[in-house]
Amino acid sequence: MEKTRWKGCLGYTGILILVSALIWGAFNFKSIGLVGIAILPIEGLLETGESESTLIMEVTGSRTVSELLRKATRDPKIKALIAYIDSPGGDAAASQEIFQAIVRFKERTGRPVIAVMGSVAASGGLYVACSADKIYALPSTLTGSIGVIWQSVNVERLLSNLGIKPETLKAGKFKDIGSLFRSMTNQERELLQRMLNDVHEQFISDVAKGRKLPVEKIRNIADGRLLTGRQAKALGLVDELGSLDEAIADVRKQVNLPDTAPLWVLERKRSLLEQALGTKAIAPFPKSLLTKPLLLHIDGRLGIGISVFLWQGSANLD
């Protein structure tokens, strides 16, 4: 009698597990065999390395984006890509790396790529958008800000008032360039300015190439000015004024997909802690910022970088 009862319990348990698996499969594999559109979110500060979520900011890491796009390149179900950009910019190298990763995706797959600007797609955000075949923006989107910035602080007088005298040993006269313990020399300023000008020219060149516009036309507006989406369209930096929904409808027509075609969001795997808390770590600032010369960098929602207390300068597109 007891054995029969146990067999019954095991049987019911097995049925329950089977039904649960079928329900889970119905929700998670309903799009198997179908083709659709991938959406790549590029949000928050742009940094090299891995994407992160912290208590006060979102970081899109160029290494994470590159890996997601490599996987998407091998996925035959993805017939088009939409890059949704809501970012004030960030690290120059990260912006360039994401730009190049999207260009490689287009070249290797031949699939259309549309960029959609959210509330902000300025500086590095615009850089990334220009890798797409077509750019959508809202009329009030803040974009533009084609420029490169280096910021550092000099606390030499403050330390002197406190009776603190830093000592620096170096091999190479420019090794401590941008040090917060002394003023820069004229030679150092010239060296840094040449470096920033070089990065600026790369930025201008890639925007011109991506938008199929003359370099001189881009250079004329590459003075760091902010633009609305409507102003950017008038200058040729944006193709259409519209939302993400309108961009999705457009790309569906381009690749002949019905309205029922699935949308997949390309995103990194998040830990259970991150899913529960909405953040990867309790620390307020991302690890990527703390491992650079920049100690604290907070980007405003208007595409304007606000840098506070730098150990040394850092070239940024924001």
Q: Which contiguous run of DSSP H or E holds residue 276?
A: helix 272-277
| Beta strands 134-137 and 113-122, pairing class | parallel
CA distance 312 to 99: 26
Residue type (1 letter), 228: T
Catalytic residue among 123, 131, 145, 314: 123
Whether the Cβ atoms of residue 45 and residue 57 lie closer than 8 Å to each other: yes
For the question of residue 253 being annotated catalytic, the response is no
Collect all residues with Cβ–Cβ distance below 8 Å to 225 and sequence separation of at least 6: 144, 145, 146
* Angular region, 163: left φ>0, alpha ψ -120 to 50, beta rest: left
Catalytic residue among 20, 140, 175, 183: 175
DSSP assignment letter at 231: H
For the question of residue 106 being annotated catalytic, the response is no
Catalytic residue positions, numbered? 123, 175
